[in-house]
Every structure is written in C-alpha cells, then in structure tokens.
Amino acid sequence: MRQIGTLPTEHQASVLTDWLIAEGIEAKYERELAGFEIWVKDEDKLSRARAEFEAYLAEPQAAKYAESAARAAEVRRNRQEQQRQYERRIQRGSTALTTGRSTLTIAMVIASILVGILTNLGQMPRGPNETMKALAFNSVPAKEAAELKDKYGLDPDSWGLKFASIRKGELWRLVTTAFIHFGALHLIFNMIWLYQLGRMVETRYGTAFLGGLCVAVEIASSFVQVAVPVAQGGAAVNILDPNLMIYLGGMSGVVYGLFGFIWVKAAIDPQSRFFLPPSTIVIMIGWMFFCMVSPTGMMSETAEGVKNSVANWSHGAGLAMGMLCGWLATLGAWGR
C-alpha cells in the first residue's frame, strides 16, 4: 500500500477513507504521531486517490461527502459477501476432493495388501514364490537364465540380464513391481499416501485419468531405477538367483508421482482446487533427501537374504514424471 497524505483528525480520515472506498479505491487510515495517515492499496489508482485527497483538503465540507459512509458500508458488505461465496466454493471443492469417487485408489490399496500377503512382504527364506516371480521386474526360467549368463556374463549392470523379461515382451512387469512391498512399514506408509493423494486426483479427473497417470509414473520410475548402474544406486540383478530376480518393489514411485502432479497443479492452476499443506511438502521432499543421504542406505532384507536399499532413483523419476504430467495438464493438453 502507498501513503497519499495525512489528516489531523480521525473524523476527517474516516470521511475521506469512506469516500475513496465508495469511489472504488481500496483505502484505510492509520493513526500516527503527526495525525492520521491515508493509505491506498491499488498502485494504478494512486494518482486519482491523491487528486481526491487534494480535493478534500480544498473543500472538506462538500455535500458529496455526506453520504460516503453509507456508500462505503455497502461496498464493504458486498466485498464480505463475495469473500463468503468464494470460501464456500473452496470448501465445496475441498469436500468434493476428499469425499468423491475413489474406486481405483481403493482397488490399488487392496491389490497391494493382497500381493503383500501372497509374497509374505518379501520375507521368503526358501526363495521367491510364484507370485513374486510373476510380478517382479525380472524373472526368467532357470534354463534361460543360464543361457543369458553365458551370453552376457555375470555383470549385474548388464542390460541383457536386467531387462531380460522386458525384452521378452513381459511389459506388465514395468507396472506390477509397484504392488510388491518389503516389510509391513513399507506397505503401510505407501498405502496411507496412496489413499490420500490418489483420491484427490481420481475425484478431480476420474478413474481412467488416475490409472493412466499411475501407469506412466510407474513405468518411468521402475525403468530408471533398473537402468541406473548399481554403483550409483540402481537396482541389481541377482546373479546368484537361478531366475535372475530383481528385487524392486513399492508404490513410492507412484506416490511421489501423484505428489508431484498435485504440487504443480496447486501451484500454477488455481482452478484445479488442489491444495497441499506446507507440512506435506516438507515431509515428502525431506523424506526423499533423507533416504538419499542416509549413511545406513536404508537397507531392507528380501528373499534369500538379498539386501536392497531405498529406490531413490524411482522416487526422483516418479516425482519428475508427475510434475511433468501436472504441467501438461495445466497447459490444457489433456485431463482438463
């Protein structure tokens, strides 16, 4: 706000302020040692406000100021009503985002829990069972695995070994890894975030959109996590496993993708009605960086005693893909 002048009495300041408001100029007055300062909010109306100030000083008893209080009161009532209507719209939008349809979100939570039960949350001392083999990123028959090791050697970074199942056309494995979890806490925390964030997107954009977004995010996150060399934190193929298993799992890539999508939409598209509390942003970003710098590597034991660290590349790729999708949706390219 900009100051336009000072008046000696509060009565004069009140009259002029009411007149400015009645004329569509948002103003207020404040008491100071020298008198009552008049402040105007709108920069583009500053010159007019100063002209009105000079006119009042020249003729403070002018008849036009007699009804300024009543007119200003009406302006204030209209503004308050507009603010109440705006708040009601926001509340209705927020309620809709938390109480609307969530069919796919709930189905994904249930599927993750069922897979967790069928895979014993990754704790399989006798080796991976058929469910784990069917859903894991990489799993090939023992005979084929032996042939692949003869062909590509025993390098755990070999794409010929890492992507053996994908190269065979088993593209579902790019997505099904999201339903595999290693440990109860891993599952619980991911399901809490999936339920909260997934419902927001599904309610606003629909089940089909949420499904497409989750598939795109999970493909990006799982592919990047496996493609990155092991020395840089990428997923490793278990050379000692007869099926060349890759123990990659978790819905966290999708969760970070949903978070990134909502974050971008809330920031640059007010019509989206999305809102993320600052605490949520701090938790999500803070947790991602904590996992990256943790001296323990956030290690977790899986089948056959294989040690896996947190899939940081999956988190980052999921977040980036979600933010990209949010930006594209904001441009109106799709999902509007």
DSSP code for 297:
T
pLDDT (average), residues 268-275: 83
Task: State the pLDDT confidence band at 303, using cuts at 50, 70 and 90.
Answer: very low
Tens-place pLDDT, residues 51-69:
999 999 999 999 888 888 8
Which pLDDT belongs to residue 302?
A: 40
Q: Are 128 and 180 in contact (CB under 8 A)?
A: no
pTM of the predicted protein model: 0.68
Q: Which carries the bigger pLDDT value, residue 172 or residue 41? A: 172
Task: State the pLDDT confidence band at 91, using cuts at 50, 70 and 90.
Answer: low
Q: CA 40, CA 273: separation in Å to the nearest integer?
A: 31
Q: Name the nearest CA neighbour of 197 among 250, 254, 249.
A: 254
Q: CA 212, CA 334: separation in Å to the nearest integer?
A: 12
- In sequence order, the 6+-apart residues with CB closer than 8 A to the CB of 148 are 140, 160, 161, 164, 244
Q: CA 257, CA 284: separation in Å to the nearest integer?
A: 11
CATH number of 104-330: 1.20.1540.10
Average pLDDT, the chain: 87
35-40/307-308 β-pairing: unpaired
Please determine, for residue 304, whether its predicted confidence score (pLDDT) is greater than 50: no
- CATH architecture under which domain 2-94 falls: 2-Layer Sandwich (3.30)
Q: Which carries the bigger pLDDT value, residue 124 or residue 26? A: 26
DSSP code for 23:
T
Weakest mean pLDDT among 170-184, 209-223, 225-239: 225-239
Backbone φ and ψ of 244, nearest 5°: 55, 50
Tens-place pLDDT, residues 115-137:
999 999 988 888 899 999 999 99
Q: Are 210 and 105 in contact (CB under 8 A)?
A: yes
pLDDT (average), residues 317-321: 97
Quick one: how far is CA 185 from the chain centroid?
A: 22
**Segments making up each domain of the chain, as ranges:** 2-94, 104-330
Task: State the pLDDT confidence band at 87, using cuts at 50, 70 and 90.
Answer: low
Task: State the pLDDT confidence band at 331, using cuts at 50, 70 and 90.
Answer: confident
Which pLDDT belongs to residue 301?
A: 37
Which pLDDT belongs to residue 243?
A: 93
Q: CA 278, CA 15: separation in Å to the nearest integer?
A: 42
Q: Quickly tell me which residue has 């028959």 as its tokens.
A: 141
Q: Are 197 and 259 in contact (CB under 8 A)?
A: yes
* pLDDT over 90 percentage in the chain: 63
pLDDT (average), residues 137-152: 93
